[in-house]
Amino acid sequence: MSQIDLIFKIAGVGILTAVLHTMLKQAGKEDLAHLATWAGVAIVLIWVVKLLGSLFAEVQTVFRLF
Amino acid sequence: MEILQVVGFALVAAVLAVALRREKPEIALLVGLGTGALIFLAFAGKIGAVLTVIEGVAQRAGLNLLYLEVLLKIVGIAYLAEFGAQLCRDAGEGALAVKVEFAAKILILLLALPVILNLLDLLLQLVGIKR
């Protein structure tokens, strides 16, 4: 439960990419806007995949799935 | 009162996910994934405590621990499959969710086969068809 900051971090990146997307779109740089979105998704995906790895390891040790 | 923490955590995450869903649905999905993983990780230790107690009871009852292990594995597979399938369904990929559940069913059947065979052997012995 102490890791709620990770959720806030993910949501922060989401809001940031949304704002960046609209800003770049207004500036007429559509390709950069899409690139920013993909970068945000990749950053968040790295965090979440790490978390998912620890979840799988924990499930494997708890339920003895080897 | 850990339930208060869990409910608060889930509600905060739900609000964040709903706020993000319109603009960036992919990140809203990742918020849900991360929340689910964190909640499970916080309570995995308690599941372990319950399982050791169940194992002790089974040992005292003279139960074959092999069956308990099979049961544990089935619960683990079912939990993981449900987690993945629900996330796929949240992402709007119902077809993928059905495939994940299908794979989990096959794996569970595979794990349960030795137990079913043992049961059939026992039945055959009981009715005296096979020595």
The string of DSSP codes covering chain B is -HHHHHHHHHHHHHHHHHHHHTT-HHHHHHHHHHHHHHHHHHHHHHHHHHHHHHHHHHHHTT--HHHHHHHHHHHHHHHHHHHHHHHHHHTT-HHHHHHHHHHHHHHHHHHHHHHHHHHHHHHHHHHTS--
Residue B131 has pLDDT above 80, yes or no: no
Give yes or no: residues B69 and B10 share one domain: no
pLDDT of residue B106: 96
Task: Identify whether residues B55 and B68 lie together within a single domain.
Answer: yes
For the ranges B61-65, B75-79, B80-84, the lowest mean pLDDT is seen at B61-65
Nearest CA in chain B to A49: B34
pLDDT digits (tens, 9 = 90+) for B9-45: 999 999 999 988 888 888 999 999 999 999 988 888 8
Q: Which domain holds residue A20?
A: 3-63
ipTM of the complex: 0.84
Instruction: Return averaged pLDDT per consecutive 10 residues of chain A, 66 residues in all.
Output: 83 91 89 90 93 90 81
- Give the number of A-B residue pairs with CB atoms closer than 8 Å: 105
- Nearest-by-CA chain B residue for A21: B23
From chain B, the residues in CB contact with A63 under 8 A are 72-73, 75-77, 79
Q: Are residues B55 and B38 in the same domain?
A: no
pTM (2 d.p.): 0.83
Domain tally for chain B?
Answer: 2
List the single residue in B28, B33, B69 with the smallest CB-CB distance to A48.
B33
**A3:B38 CB<8 A:** yes
Tens of pLDDT, residue by residue over B88-113, are 998 889 999 999 999 999 999 999 99
Q: Does B79 share its domain with B91?
A: yes
The confidence band for B67, taking pLDDT boundaries of 50, 70 and 90, is: confident
Considering its fold, how many domains does chain A have in total? 1
**How confident is the model at residue B108, as a pLDDT?**
94
Q: Which residue of B has its CA nearest to A7?
A: B31
Q: The domain containing residue B8 runs over which residues?
A: 1-44
Whether B31 and B80 map to the same domain: the answer is no
